Amino acid sequence: MESLSTGIKGLDILIDGGYPKGKNILVTGPPGAGKTILGIHFLYRSCKEGKKCTLILTRELTEDILNQSRSLNLDLNPFLESGQLSIKNIFEDKMNRIKSASKFGKGLCAVDTDIIEYLSSISSEVDVVVIDNLGVMAINHDVREFADEFSSISIILLKNGCTSLFVMDEDSYDLTHRLTGYMVFGLIRLTSQENFISGKTKKYLYIEKMRNKAVPVKYSLFDITPEGMRIITSMK
């Protein structure tokens, strides 16, 4: 199976070359675990390789993501300026609509509706899509509704042949009974463990599933450095 590099050498080794091309991968974990950084790595490497990429944000400001990418020496701004990377910020769009609704009495659309409408309009030339974060979709939906909306998003991307990375916070993942984990091609879980005596925190990555790939069945220790994410121990 053809793969796209994750942008992290150690992770490429763990999953036998990278993310399966044209498939969808879910990354979940608690706040601060490194989920967004995984997405930045993937976008940066894909853009460097000449691929057309799209980032959809539902919680973060575009400026904050660009600043974070620069701080990791994975600057996304040149790709944004060249048009190779496009960013759709649904969070900022929603804030603007709230202002408009308050002023003119207009109604608001759900975030998932915005995502579906946007994905339906993206160019067939887009190779890579990162959605950060799916958690907002879980707030106003029951589990069945969430599953239906997520299925719609996945189908659009799979039909377009996009390699997709979905970021979802751990609380929302649990709130939706972990259904997304069953509905994606691959699942990566990030976690942290704090040593209260030393005051240090260790971060771990676990590849819960990656279809058609030989992956380790143990947790891998990783660190976040000024150069981004680095796998410290490979369990292969």
Q: Tokens 């969808």, residue? A: 24
Task: Please list, in sequence order, all residues whose beta carbon lies within 8 angstroms of the beta carbon of residue 52, skipping any fewer than 6 positions away.
Answer: 84, 123, 125, 126, 127, 128
Q: Which of 83, 167, 166, 155 shows the shortest CA–CA distance to 120?
A: 155
Angle formed by the axes of helices 111-121 and 90-104, to 10°? 120
Angle at 65 between CA 63 and CA 67, to 5 degrees: 70
- What mean pLDDT do residues 72-96 have? 92
pTM higher than 0.75 for the full model?
yes
Inside any domain, residue 179: yes
Cα–Cα distance measured from residue 43 to residue 68, given in angstroms and rounded to the nearest whole number: 13
Q: Tokens 């971060």, residue? A: 203
CB atoms under 10 Å from CB of 143, counted, come to: 12
Q: Check which CATH number belongs to the domain holding 17 and give it.
A: 3.40.50.300
Identify any residues that bridge with 56 across adjacent strands, giving them in sequence order.
88, 131
| Across 19-23, 141-145, 203-207, least confident range | 141-145
Look at the chain and report how many structural domains it folds into: 1
CB-count exposure of residue 76 (10 Å: 0-12, 13-18, 19+): buried
Q: Which residue has the higher pLDDT, 98 or 115?
A: 115
- What mean pLDDT do residues 228-234 have? 88
Residue 129 has pLDDT above 80, yes or no: yes
What pLDDT shows up at residue 229?
97
Cα–Cα distance measured from residue 2 to residue 18, given in angstroms and rounded to the nearest whole number: 9
What pLDDT shows up at residue 235?
47
Residues of the chain with pLDDT > 70, as a percent, come to 92
Inside any domain, residue 236: no
Inside any domain, residue 32: yes
Confidence of residue 110 (pLDDT cuts 50, 70, 90): low
- What mean pLDDT do residues 134-149 have? 90
Confidence of residue 95 (pLDDT cuts 50, 70, 90): confident
Tell me if residue 80 falls in helix, strand or coil: helix
Confidence of residue 236 (pLDDT cuts 50, 70, 90): very low
Cβ atoms of 186 and 23 within 8 Å: the answer is: yes
Residues of the chain with pLDDT > 90, as a percent, come to 75
Q: What is the CA radius of gyration of the chain?
A: 18
Helix (H) or strand (E) holding 38: helix 35-48
What pLDDT shows up at residue 92?
86
Tens-place pLDDT, residues 14-70? 999 999 999 999 999 999 999 999 999 999 999 999 999 999 999 899 999 999 999
Tens-place pLDDT, residues 146-199? 999 999 999 999 999 999 999 999 999 999 999 999 999 999 999 998 877 777
Cβ atoms of 54 and 124 within 8 Å: the answer is: no
Its domain, for residue 52, covers 3-231
